[in-house]
Chains A and B, each alone.
Chain A
Amino acid sequence: MKENVASATVFTLLLFFNTCLLNGQSPPGKPEIFKCRSPNKETFTCWWRPGADGGLPTNYSLAYHKEGEKFIHECPDYVTGGPNSCHFGKQYTSMWRTYIITVNATNEMGSTLSDEIYVDVTYIVEPDPPLNVVVEVKQPEDKKPYLWIKWSPPTLIDLKTGWFTLLYEIQLKPENAEEWETHFAGQQTDFKVLSLHPGQKYLVQVRCKPDHGYWSSWSPGYSIQIPSEFTMKDTTMWISVAVLSAVICLIIVWAVALKGYSMATCIFPPVPGPKIKGFDAHLLEKGKSEELLSALGCQDFPPTSDYEDLLVEYLEVDDSEDQHLMSVHSKEHPSQGMKPTYLDPDTDSGRGSCDSPSLLSEKCEEPQASPSTFCAPEVIEKPENPETTHTWDPQCRSMEGKTPCFHAGGSKCSTWPLPQPSQHNPRSSYHNIGDVCELAVRPTGAPATLLDKAGKDALKSSQISKPREEGKAAQQREVESFHSKTDKDTHWLLPQEKTPFGSTKPVDYVEIHKVNKDGALSLLPKQGNNSNQPEKPRDPENSKEYAKVSRVMDNNILVLVPDLHTKNVACSEESAKEAPPSLEQNQAEKGLADFPATPSNCRLQLGGLEYLDPACFTHSFH
């Protein structure tokens, strides 16, 4: 019986165990403590990993004892650290002492003990990540921007007493970059990052570590945008400055181009021409020559004994009417009635009706005459009647407008009107009042006679006019007063050089008779080819050579051009002419014809538009 009971018990037990095994229930598997960490050297937590639970509810318990102690303690806190953890509070935490910790898993079937772990809190220190990470972009004046990163240490860490020492590290990268840029920040809680890529979005993270221990995890990333205008500002500014400058330059160029001439006139005022004092321009316009002349005080004709030979032609071209102004350029062309269109249909002009040659000089006197003005006495010659007195028509005719006196830069005496009939439009020649001492332009290129700059006295004394009734051959004196402006000069020259308007009477030249002490030139008409020339039958080869004044430079220097008719310009000798030693340089040039012949010396210097060597003249004069 007893044997049956014993065997039955054994059988039952075996059956029970078998049943259990068949059910899959077993004691729990061995748990494993895998991690212990202390965030502040004052507490620590251990976590375990449970093993197989054996299909039954399993309890876990942690037991520990410290180095040097024998008493075994159980985990004081299973909750704080989460499931399967044990948290050791301050009073349970000791430094520099080894903890021997085990976890016991228990279920209905049994319990299983984990391996012991030996933990020294000293070596498991891992803080929490830093808190309150703040990143700002700082832009100091005239300096590059930088990132200023601030943070605060994690909580529950005692830094003040020195129990805990934290070291920080920063990492940042542009948003799309792959690699982080790491900076060690030591124990400070702020940091400046200077190497930035503008216009980029940066991610910044901070972590910390105890003086001896593990690094914390990275703080959450802080995104910040670096403004791109910091470096673009300079570029944009320079671009706008460049554009503005270009626009201003264009405006200036355009303005200059438009008003170039007037501006040039403003900057370089033209040399004033002669003025006739007392000359009433309006009277001239009205055609009241008598009153005009009387206003000038031209009462009588100047003594013309010296100038009997002079036959001055005055050619006025007037397209508006009949032959008011006739070309008196040469007697052989009396029928030419070319009138300069620019001339006023003055009744006196060209007719010698102003029978007072002296009027001219007076007329040419003007109160506003600038010092450099000079009167260009107009010699008006009756075109159709060579017999008529060739009056010295002091009319100053205006080439443009109706101003009788025109001069450079002001109201000055006009130059000789161009006898050239179908001449170019003088207006085209003179677009400046100052330039308007215009002369007749010969198709052949009339020489430019010289103007006396001395003023009316000179005119008086150097009156070219000869009474027309003397029947001088048509001579023409062309006087041009030139601007100092080269552009005008060239312009003027052009019509003179090229006169496409058919041929007219050849322009004759005027010899300089003498030069008085005032530097006035007394001119004698040059004997042209016209055999009617009473005086000095001129042989183009043997007669005096004259130079055409191309223009008047400043300093009263006359620029002479060789006359096209005459082969060369030579310092011709004129017995009748003399020059005072005090003659000015320009007058010396003017009086080229007066010079004793030093052809070689002077000639060399006169090729085209060349200047005369004053020394040459001086020598000649003396």
Chain B
Amino acid sequence: MALSTVLETPGAGFNFENATRNAALEALFEGGQTPKPLKTGTTIAGVVFKDGVVLGADTRATSSEVVADKMCEKIHFISPNMYCCGAGTAADTEKTTELLSSNLSIFSLNSGRNPRVVMAVNILQDMLYRYHGQIGANLLLGGVDCTGNHLYTVGPYGDVDKVPYLAMGSGDLAALGILEDGFKHNLELEEAKELVRSSIHAGIMSDLGSGNNIDVCVITKQGVDYIRPYQESEYKDDRKMNYKYRPGTTKVLTEKVVPLKLEVVQETVQKMETA
């Protein structure tokens, strides 16, 4: 490249060089033919019960009108005592939760302690506020630590709320109705699981963006029970035919075998100290 000017190396992190070009391209395609990011029109819900936290989510990922993934994983691992449900743009929620998980594991390796839920929430809040909502991640973070059982919600602009139960995503209104009706403080495990399942089910029935199976994740002091799928959809497609080709479908016309002759050129022996 014959640059007659001095190069200023682009800094690490986000690169905005193509922003003008993208804006100009979008103006050209006024009909909205630009590729849309994969959104998870979603129903996610979480409930704090007597011994911990129960998180639930559906498993459908949509890309405009098409179901892109029928078995999408929306409950992400953060640390052994914390899981996070994500609604919004699929890539954003995944990458954000992965970064959060990495930061917390570095912290726990450094200090030798289990991370607390407030730490995760603060890291998320700082990160999301810094990007002013451009990262479309609506997160529901639930976990158990030495201070108790916690459920927090973090919005894409960085707003945080500590709640005993909440639903988010495009199906949140239907799910929240069920939760408001059935929630009591200090529920038992089975009651909490059933409450979350029925709220996600209501979200699936009432919202086009949610569907397929229901995942449930139970976090307690003893450990995590990630049940995937907790309930499978009744409308699973049943493939009638087998689409694999049986061996011999393609006829072999000729066969030529060339043996590779290898000869030992050099041999070195290195003694290992196995004391």
Our verdict on whether A and B bind, yes or no, reads no
Task: Identify the B interface with A (CB < 8 A).
Answer: none
Task: Identify the A interface with B (CB < 8 A).
Answer: none
